[in-house]
């Protein structure tokens, strides 16, 4: 005979108090302790990310074109 135990999660007041305390502390930390960037810092960071993404995309595009041409040359020499 196989016995199966079914565990039912018990939510007690202590668990809910911990969750509530966690949420309160998280809110307090986000509003009082976190240093948020200014609008100009945010814009300059966004521009830096945009320029870096464009440069990386151009490098990948160039490598893709170079390898594509090398493969075309290789396959032409085989034919």
| 10-42 pLDDT tens trace | 666 778 888 899 999 999 999 999 998 999 999
Helix/strand/coil percentages in the chain, nearest 5: 75, 0, 25
pLDDT of residue 15: 81
Domain carrying residue 43: 37-79
pLDDT of residue 13: 72
Higher-confidence position of 43 and 5: 43
10 domain residue, yes or no: no
29 domain residue, yes or no: no
Q: Running DSSP on this structure, what letter comes out for residue 10?
A: -
17 domain residue, yes or no: no
Give me the mean pLDDT over the 56-65 stretch: 98
User: Would you say residue 52 has pLDDT above 80?
Assistant: yes
Contacts of 37 (CB under 8 A, 6+ apart): 45
28 domain residue, yes or no: no
15 domain residue, yes or no: no
58 domain residue, yes or no: yes
**Structure token digits, residue 60:** 């990948």
Q: Are 70 and 77 in contact (CB under 8 A)?
A: no
Instruction: Read off the pLDDT of residues 67-78 as tens digits, 9 standing for 90 and up.
Output: 999 999 999 999
**Structure token digits, residue 75:** 């396959």
How many folded domains does the chain comprise?
1
73 domain residue, yes or no: yes
**Structure token digits, residue 2:** 């196989």
């Amino acid at each position: 005979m196989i016995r199966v135990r079914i565990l039912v999660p018990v939510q007690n007041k202590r668990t809910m108090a911990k969750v509530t305390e966690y949420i309160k502390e998280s809110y307090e930390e986000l509003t009082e302790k976190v240093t948020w960037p200014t609008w100009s810092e945010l814009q300059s960071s966004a521009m830096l990310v945009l320029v870096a993404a464009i440069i990386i995309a151009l490098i990948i595009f160039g490598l893709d074109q170079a390898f594509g041409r090398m493969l075309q040359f290789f396959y032409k020499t085989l034919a």
